[in-house]
Amino acid sequence: MKIKEKSTKIIAILEELFPETPIPLNHASEFQLLIAVLMSAQTTDKKVNQVTPNLFEVGPNAKLMSKLSVETIQSIIREVGLAPTKSRNIRNLSRMLIELHEGNVPNSFKELEALPGVGHKTASVVMSQAFGIPAFPVDTHIHRLAARWGLSKGTTVEKTEKDLKKIFPKELWNILHLQIIFFGREFCPARFHDLTKCPICSWCATKKRIKKEMKSSINSKNS
């Protein structure tokens, strides 16, 4: 199947399965979204949504957050993975926003990625979800699915992002990255895949990959 045909079919399936794409991380401002996304590395969105109400009560914006001590932030977000580093980044990032951007979240990759704890993926999520600027944030799940669906042979998330941006129309990037995440959460179990029963892999994955996945599935079942 040609890649254009494949991508058109994937878009149609995802659109039918997930016509709505609500932003998974709760927030009331661009600043709060940035903080929530920064916290979401190495943890679940659910866990982040559990701690942000208390955090945003005392630090709803860059000005008030910058006045909190790292210890205070850490005590509030302690259940989130890597809490000590994230707490330091949240405080320092808030100070930088005050010093450099009048407390506002900048809407450029360059300025976002210059903030502590903000890598390309976090910046992409903020550009896409806070500002509606087309971006394709690729996390490990999207990276894995792009390979399974035969959309990218990328060995890094950077290469996968480039490939997906070439394949899918720009105006759909912001919706598609969420739809693929939702699809992965709902359909893709971590282990024991039967690719032939999947709404996408069953027709989209190459025979070679189906064979490979089935074999590793049987091996992990037997181990």
The catalytic residue positions are: 121, 139
| 201 touching ligand SF4, by CB under 6 A | yes
45 near 25, Cβ under 8 Å?
Answer: yes
Total binding residues for ligand SF4 by CB under 6 A? 9
Q: What is the nearest approach in angstroms of ligand SF4 to the Cβ of residue 189? A: 7
Q: Which two tokens stand for residue 186?
A: 């709902």
| Contact between 10 and ligand SF4 per CB under 6 A | no
Of 106, 118, 92, give the one whose Cα is nearest residue 38: 118
The structure tokens listed for 194 are 């039967």
Taking CB under 6 A as the criterion, the residue among 188, 203, 209, 217 binding ligand SF4 is: 188
Q: At what angle do helices 70-77 and 83-101 cross, to 10 degrees?
A: 130
- For residue 129 the two structure tokens come to 């979800």
Task: Quote the Cα angle for 38-43-46, to 5°.
Answer: 95
Q: Which is nearer to ligand SF4, 17 or 23 (CB)?
A: 17
Q: Considering only residues 86-145, where is the footprint of ligand SF4 by CB under 6 A? A: 145
Which residue do the tokens 């179990």 mark? 189
| Member of 91, 121, 148, 177 binding ligand SF4 (CB under 6 A) | 148
To ligand SF4, the closest distance from the beta carbon of 136 in angstroms equals 18
Residues that bind ligand SF4 (CB under 6 A): 145, 148, 187-188, 193, 195, 198, 200-201
